[in-house]
């Protein structure tokens, strides 16, 4: 596994359960996935000796975040099966390439402009608001700036950071944000999990509901759209397609993740096969099967300092009392504002009841 965050950790747990051994390569010695690793590589991804050692240790390779250098994946995939490959990683790693790919393949997406230098922001001359995002190396709201007014746009050229390029996206007035996890097998089999309904705070996923509160035909359109996007890439693995539901007749593609997704954590609890088991299956060339849904769920992310509050015994106990909550903490050593430290899954049969419970838990954790 390239990358040792929580997503790699859940993959490693699934793989260990199925009888595999897992090597995790991440520069941080205390990366969450190292808790489940049978082999640990702690060097930077640019280390050539580790590359050789890693390739000779493993039988197959997967990844768990977009910021893994694409050159590393290219070097590895010429020796060992690597799923997903540098093809989908390269697309997901660069918002401009990703949008061009979607546009060229006829998928619906919101209006966008390439910003190669801050002065290009004058291109953002139509109806506001817009969001400016770094084309590469952004995730969880990092490297994103919202432009609400013309004044903000004019100020923005001195505020956007990083090397560029950037992409400016027109903010669409959506009814709901959805995401669909798609699994593609080495034999071309392609399945989808039901869409989840997501809420964000400062560009970071806050809650995710499954099933989404949409009608069956919208659900079908969302799953079909996501499936078509992944089929058109044609790379085996687990993917997530983030969507904007503008109205039941208009669903736009926001972005593609070439890996399991935060909004798919619930599949561990509520489906017969989790997205992580499917990542193992796709990697090892095993069957990809339509998973059965066992319960409805609401996921609540535990962000930043909320983890410190949750770690107090009385808070933990308060949250666990109703019997519907399951706590997952990632074992991250340092707390940063907005950092994903863990999540809580509320399982049951009524989404509205679960959402209320998750909101009450959030009030306790964040003191609001
Ligand atoms: N991740 C990857 N893309 C989006 C997210 N949230 C997960 C991966 C990655 C970890 O977040 O598991 O390794 C990085 O988290 P952090 O808190 O160290 O930035």
Per-residue pLDDT reduced to its tens digit, 303-324? 999 999 999 999 999 999 989 9
| Protein residue with its CA nearest to atom 2 in ligand 1 | 65
Confidence of residue 161 (pLDDT cuts 50, 70, 90): low
Distance 140 CA to ligand 1 centre (A): 8
- Please check the confidence at residue 301 and state whether its pLDDT lies above 70: yes
Domain 176-366: give its CATH code: 3.30.470.20
Atom of ligand 1 nearest to the CA of 31: 18
| Ligand 1 within 6 A of CB of 6 | yes
Distance 313 CA to ligand 1 centre (A): 27
Distance 5 CA to ligand 1 centre (A): 5
| Ligand 1 within 6 A of CB of 194 | no
Distance 126 CA to ligand 1 centre (A): 34
**Cβ count within 10 A of residue 171:** 16
| Protein residue with its CA nearest to atom 14 in ligand 1 | 5
- Please check the confidence at residue 120 and state whether its pLDDT lies above 90: no
In this structure, which CATH number among 3.40.50.1820, 3.30.1490.20, 3.40.630.30, 3.40.50.850 belongs to the domain 111-170? Answer: 3.30.1490.20
Worst-scoring range by mean pLDDT, 76-80, 120-124, 174-178, 215-219?
120-124
What are the two backbone dihedrals, phi and then psi, of residue 328, each rounded to the nearest 5 degrees?
Answer: -125, 115
| Protein residue with its CA nearest to atom 13 in ligand 1 | 5
Distance 162 CA to ligand 1 centre (A): 19
| Ligand 1 within 6 A of CB of 7 | yes
| Ligand 1 within 6 A of CB of 140 | yes
| Ligand 1 within 6 A of CB of 3 | yes
- Residue 178's nearest CA partner among 276, 248, 80 is 248
- Residue 267's nearest CA partner among 11, 4, 3, 1 is 11
| Ligand 1 within 6 A of CB of 107 | no
In this structure, which CATH number among 3.40.50.150, 3.40.50.10860, 3.40.50.10420, 3.40.50.20 belongs to the domain 6-82? Answer: 3.40.50.20
Residue ranges covered by each domain of the chain: 6-82, 111-170, 176-366
What SS3 class is residue 264? Answer: helix
Cβ neighbours for 75, distance < 8 A, ≥ 6 positions apart: 51
Give residue-wise pLDDT tens across range 61-73: 999 999 999 999 9
Give residue-wise pLDDT tens across range 165-186: 999 999 999 999 999 999 999 9
Average pLDDT estimate for 71-79: 98
Per-residue DSSP letter, 29: T
| Ligand 1 within 6 A of CB of 64 | yes
Q: Choose one of 1, 2, 4, 7 to mutate for the ligand 1 pocket test, by most ligand atoms within 8 angstroms of C-beta.
A: 7
Q: Please give the pLDDT value at position 138.
A: 81
Average pLDDT estimate for 25-42: 98
Given a contact cutoff of 8 angstroms between Cβ atoms, the answer to whether 240 and 257 are in contact is yes
Q: Is residue 124 exposed (0-12), middle (13-18) or buried (19+ Cβ within 10 Å)? A: buried
Between residues 363 and 156, the one the model is more confident about: 363
Q: Are strands 130-134 and 144-147 parallel, antiparallel or unpaired?
A: antiparallel
- Please check the confidence at residue 263 and state whether its pLDDT lies above 80: yes
């Amino acid at each position: 596994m390239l990358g040792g965050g929580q997503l790699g950790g859940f993959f490693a747990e699934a793989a260990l359960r199925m009888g595999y051994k897992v090597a995790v390569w991440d520069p941080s010695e205390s990366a969450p996935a190292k808790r489940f690793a049978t082999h640990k590589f702690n060097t930077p991804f640019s280390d050539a000796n580790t590359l050789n050692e890693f390739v000779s240790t493993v039988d197959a390779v997967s990844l768990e975040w977009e910021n893994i250098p694409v050159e590393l994946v290219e070097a590895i995939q010429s020796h060992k099966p690597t799923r997903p490959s540098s093809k989908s990683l390269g697309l997901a790693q660069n918002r401009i390439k990703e949008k061009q790919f979607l546009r060229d393949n006829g998928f619906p997406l919101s209006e966008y402009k390439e910003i190669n230098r801050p002065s290009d922001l004058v291109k953002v001359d139509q109806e506001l608001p817009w969001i400016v995002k770094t084309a590469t190396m952004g995730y969880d709201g990092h490297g994103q700036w919202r432009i609400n007014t013309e004044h903000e746009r004019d100020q923005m050229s001195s505020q956007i950071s990083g090397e560029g390029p950037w992409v400016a996206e027109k903010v669409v007035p959506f009814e709901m944000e959805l995401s669909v996890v798609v699994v593609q097998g080495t034999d071309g089999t392609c399945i989808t999990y039901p869409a989840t309904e997501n809420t964000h705070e400062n560009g970071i996923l806050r809650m995710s509901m499954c099933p989404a509160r949409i009608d069956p035909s919208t659900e079908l359109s969302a799953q079909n759209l996501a499936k078509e996007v992944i089929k058109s890439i044609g790379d085996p693995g687990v993917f997530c397609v983030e969507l904007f539901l503008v109205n039941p007749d208009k669903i736009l593609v926001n972005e593609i993740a070439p890996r399991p997704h935060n909004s798919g954590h619930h599949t561990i609890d509520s489906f017969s096969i989790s997205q992580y088991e499917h990542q193992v299956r796709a990697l090892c060339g095993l069957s990809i099967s339509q998973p059965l849904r066992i319960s409805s769920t609401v996921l609540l992310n535990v962000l930043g300092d909320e983890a410190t509050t949750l770690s107090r015994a009385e808070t933990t106990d308060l949250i666990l009392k109703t019997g519907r909550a399951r706590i997952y903490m990632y074992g991250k050593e340092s707390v940063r504002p907005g950092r994903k430290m863990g999540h809580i899954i509320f399982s049951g049969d009524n989404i509205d009841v679960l959402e209320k419970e998750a909101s009450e838990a959030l009030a306790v954790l964040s003191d609001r």
